[in-house]
Amino acid sequence: MFDDFFFPYERAKLWTRDMVILSLSNFFLYISLYIMLPVLPLWMVQHWYCSYAEAGGAVAVFGLTMFLPGPCNSYIIDTFKRKSVCVITLALLAGVSLLYPYVATVGLVALLRMVQGALFSVVTMTTGSTLVIDVTASRRRTDANVAFTWFGRFGMALGLALGVYIYPYWSFTCVVYVCAAFGIGALLLIPLLHIPFRAPLCPPLFSLDRFLLPRTLLPGINMLLVSFIFGVIIAHIYNEIFYICILIGFAVSLLISKYALSHTSCRAEMEFGQAALVAGILLMAFSNSLMSSYIAALLLGIGIGITASRFFVIMISLPLHCERGTGNNTYQLLWEVGLLGGLFFENIWTGNYPDTIYWICLGICVVSLVLYETVTHNWYYKRMEEKQL
């Protein structure tokens, strides 16, 4: 009964002008963010001869500072104009990107990443957790949240491919300009939105509203293990075609979910996604050929796409009344923390035991599946039954 939270009978239009604008803005934002992810550690190691562990730590600190503005999210979004908050934070996010070529130490790079983490947290809370809900009919909000998040996933893979492709041919400063240009593109779309009028409220300065929803933490931690694997792969593989294949895998996973798995159970969909993920990891572990790596990337894209999307639906269907935005934000925070944690771990581990990284990923994937099968699945259905009472 709870396997599918889409509403095909609803006649309200999903792809309104505002929804298209927000989705494109999110697509550009994630391209901007992920262009720098494979480039920054390599640039720091080449430029300052620091260790990969130091470079990975400076990049990964972004994930921790995403939690800093969280307790004030409700106050920010209900006290000030939401479009204005989004525009200002996007402008600051793009502006901070332009400072990277002018810093002189790894510590200053970490400081810039910390600032960007806090700003990105506010942007994702304002757009995915608030504005998307504001511009969508109530019965299409699950569809809208899922579609909006898919645009971010596609931007994520394309950003990784672009960063890996252009850095060997262009200077680091040019890569930064491309990053800022996509960030500005995301910014310029926001003023085009028509947001319904909302009277200012007087919320408390600190709360968990639009920050973290304890009710979704179990599936969120389960999902975090999947994003951790993706972070390890991002740090380990430096090949633009590999990330294009992951992008294609994302597209294929979307089609599979819509047409092949639309009438299957939640458990079957999760098992299919995890099986594709395991197959991709095993292929990378046992084969060194380029063609095998591209097939593995396709399988990884399918597995991550199906699994992450299903966990996302779980996390936005668990919230009670007026908690959807908080569930959405919890997903975004845990996804980035897991991914950047994986990136940091790979940069520490590879120097000593490079050949074991795929087996570690395989073990984490198995743990994620076992956790879902033994705990998360039954817990989720029980919570949903209680919600219907």
Helix, strand, coil distribution of the chain in percent, nearest 5: 80, 0, 20
pTM of the complete model beyond 0.85: yes
State the Cα angle at 205 between 202 and 208, rounded to 5°: 105
Residues found in the chain: 389
The answer to whether residue 145 sits within a structural domain is: yes
The answer to whether residue 4 sits within a structural domain is: no
The answer to whether residue 300 sits within a structural domain is: yes
* Residues 220-267 pLDDT 10s: 999 999 999 999 999 999 999 999 999 999 999 999 999 999 888 999
Task: Name the band, by pLDDT with cuts 50, 70 and 90, for residue 351.
Answer: low
pLDDT in the model for residue 6: 44
Q: What is the Cα–Cα distance from 155 to 87, expressed in whole angstroms?
A: 19
Structure tokens given for 212: 């973290």
Q: What is the Cα–Cα distance from 200 to 271, expressed in whole angstroms?
A: 45
Q: Are 75 and 205 in contact (CB under 8 A)?
A: yes
* Residues 261-316 pLDDT 10s: 988 899 999 999 999 999 999 999 998 899 999 999 999 999 999 999 999 999 99
The answer to whether residue 141 sits within a structural domain is: yes
Average pLDDT over residues 42-58: 93
Q: Are 231 and 363 in contact (CB under 8 A)?
A: no
Least confident of 2-16, 95-109, 265-279, 354-368: 2-16
pLDDT in the model for residue 226: 97
* Residues 109-121 pLDDT 10s: 999 999 999 999 9
The answer to whether residue 314 sits within a structural domain is: yes
Buried b / exposed e along 47-78 (16+ C-beta atoms within 10 A): eeebebbbbbbbbbbbbbbbeebbbbbbbbbb
The larger pLDDT score, comparing residue 195 to residue 345, is at 345
The answer to whether residue 3 sits within a structural domain is: no
Proportion of the chain above pLDDT 90, given as a percent: 86
Proportion of the chain above pLDDT 70, given as a percent: 95
Domain count, the chain: 1
Residue 199 has pLDDT above 70, yes or no: no
Provide the CATH number for the domain around residue 62.
Answer: 1.20.1250.20
Please report, to the nearest 10 degrees, the dihedral formed by the alpha carbons of residues 220, 207, 60, 317 taken in order: 20
Task: Name the band, by pLDDT with cuts 50, 70 and 90, for residue 22.
Answer: very high
Q: Are 144 and 156 in contact (CB under 8 A)?
A: no
Task: Name the band, by pLDDT with cuts 50, 70 and 90, for residue 104.
Answer: confident
The answer to whether residue 275 sits within a structural domain is: yes
Name the residue range of residue 66's domain: 17-197+207-388
Q: Are 14 and 140 in contact (CB under 8 A)?
A: yes
Helix (H, G, I), strand (E, B) or coil at 118: helix
Alpha helices in 15-170 (DSSP H): 17-48, 52-65, 73-79, 82-97, 106-126, 132-134, 141-166
Helix (H, G, I), strand (E, B) or coil at 177: helix
Give the sign of the dihedral formed by CA 298, CA 302, CA 305, CA 308. Answer: negative
The answer to whether residue 224 sits within a structural domain is: yes
Structure tokens given for 48: 């300052």
Q: What is the Cα–Cα distance from 294 to 287, expressed in whole angstroms?
A: 11
